[in-house]
Structure 1
Amino acid sequence: MRKAFSVIAGILLVAAVPPGLAAGPSVNESGLHAAAARNDAAAIRDLLSAGADIDARDGRGRTALLVATHGNRIDAAQALIEAGADVNARDDIHDSPYLYAGARGHLEILTMTLAHGADLKSINRFGGTALIPASERGHVETVRTLIEAGVDVDHVNDLGWTALLEAIILGDGGSRHQRIVDLLLAAKANVDLADREGVTPLQHARNRGYEAIEKRLVAAGAR
């Protein structure tokens, strides 16, 4: 009987705890993620002033800044970054605000992360730098920005691909990817760095019928 009473009392005690005060983020921390999602910079500043943990994690390991970055919520991201949010804090799948902004072409947030300590050598869950998915997805200005910031243009990811290879293999051969190839070549990307099967960027371009990219590679001395 005493044991049953203890269990019931425990259940009632848990039920009496207000939402947000149980195990997990505090009310302020949960509010910070919500404010970031709705791009409410004023609420973010109020919550931080009240003592919210700026780098607290949600159920997926995301900070409020990463939530803001997911939605390209520029005002929220700016408020958080200027308050000292960690631009390199990774979630459960190894995304950080810097890496995600680069991969998705969220240029304004990316620029802010670069100005506040972004780790240019950090890699995503595929072993790639921010430059590689940016090149694949055709984010021309993002690629330019990352190159100018000093990201290694010849970094090889876990698939055995560089930014140049991904721009060709996963790109569409159109004007955006042609411009990205131009940027990578101007940055002295290795035009003959092949994939794990020994297929070079030039061979991939030819196999896909990307004549404009093929011409660029040949002009750069590709074999």
Structure 2
Amino acid sequence: MLLCALLGLAALAASATPALAQTAPSAAEAAAYTGLLAAAHSGDLGQLRRLLAGGADVQVRDAMGRTALHIATFARQRAVLPALVQAGARLAQLDNERYDAVTIAAVAGDEDSLRLLLSLGASAALTTSRYDGTALIAAAHLGHVGVVRQLIAAGAPLDHVNNLHWTALIESIVLGDGGPRHQAVLRDLLVAGASTQLSDREGNTPLALARARGHTAMEAMLRQAGAR
């Protein structure tokens, strides 16, 4: 029964993964951008600086609520990020789908943009997405090991519970494939002190979930960490 329920929840969540829940600018949207949004998308730092010096609104949004900071992060145009922040771009701003730049970079597995955003003062602790999750939960789900390590080091909340009633540790098990990347994520979370006792909505512990999923290596890691 546990396995059936688990697979049903996993299928539900996987049908709207963080990667799909985010919507990057389409080619048509990008082609229609003007002004600051166009400069951010193309990474034209000179034009972006000229526009900002001329009084362009650094918080201007597109139809999806994306600011220039969101757009530059989606496009991996790192050169313009410091200029936007220096001009007053709000690092904690969410787009219409409730994503901030940190979570956008985390979902993309974009370690370089994430490192830069964190160095500019972005928070790893925001509650984001339709799942009331965090960048750490999204990265754990997707097995982005380097991103997970950065977020842990930046103080991301280890035991935040999203509206599926899953933590980052639980998502690494429930939505992971049990392979090396998700094992590494689980190991990093355990070393950092993530709880092995917080359960899902049905009361299943991470150990029970790993066992039900047949993730034997993860089950062994959890037992070694004292999980019950």
Scaled by the length of structure 1, the TM-score of the pair is: 0.82
2:44 corresponds to 1:40: yes
Residue correspondence of structure 1 range 81-100 to structure 2 within 5 A: 81-100=85-104
Which amino acid in structure 2 is aligned with residue 138 of structure 1? Answer: G
Q: 2:116 aligns with which of 99, 105, 112?
A: 112
Q: Distance in 2 between matches of 1:30 and 1:65?
A: 15
Whether contact under 8 Å (2:82, 2:120) holds in the other structure is no
Q: 1:72 aligns with which of 69, 72, 76?
A: 76
How far is 1:165 from its partner?
0.5
Question: Unpaired segments of 5 or more residues in structure 2?
Answer: 1-32
Q: Secondary structure at the match of 1:217?
A: helix
Q: 2:152 aligns with which of 122, 147, 172?
A: 147
Q: Distance in 2 between matches of 1:169 and 1:77?
A: 34
2:225 corresponds to 1:220: yes
2:202 corresponds to 1:194: no
Scaled by the length of structure 2, the TM-score of the pair is: 0.80
Whether contact under 8 Å (1:78, 1:109) holds in the other structure is no
Q: Distance in 2 between matches of 1:219 and 1:129?
A: 27
Identity %: 47
Whether contact under 8 Å (2:125, 2:155) holds in the other structure is no
Match of 2:14 in 1: none
Q: Distance in 2 between matches of 1:42 and 1:174?
A: 44
How far is 1:130 from its partner?
1.0
How far is 1:75 from its partner?
1.8
Q: Distance in 1 between matches of 2:112 and 2:82?
A: 9
Report the RMSD for the aligned CA atoms in angstroms: 1.6
Per-residue CA distance 1:11-68 (angstroms, 9 max, x = gap): xxxxxxxxxxxxxxxxxx9311111111222221121122111111111111001011
Match of 1:11 in 2: none
Q: Distance in 2 between matches of 1:84 and 1:179?
A: 37
User: Quick check: 73-82 or 40-49, which moved more?
Assistant: 73-82
Larger Rg: 1
Q: Which has the higher contact order (CA 8 A, sep 6+)?
A: 2
Per-residue CA distance 1:145-196 (angstroms, 9 max, x = gap): 1111111111100110000000111111111111100100001111121100
Which amino acid in structure 2 is aligned with residue 76 of structure 1? Answer: V
Question: Unpaired segments of 5 or more residues in structure 1?
Answer: 1-28
2:190 corresponds to 1:165: no
Number of residues of Structure 1 aligned to a counterpart in Structure 2? 195
User: Quick check: 94-103 or 113-122, which moved more?
Assistant: 113-122
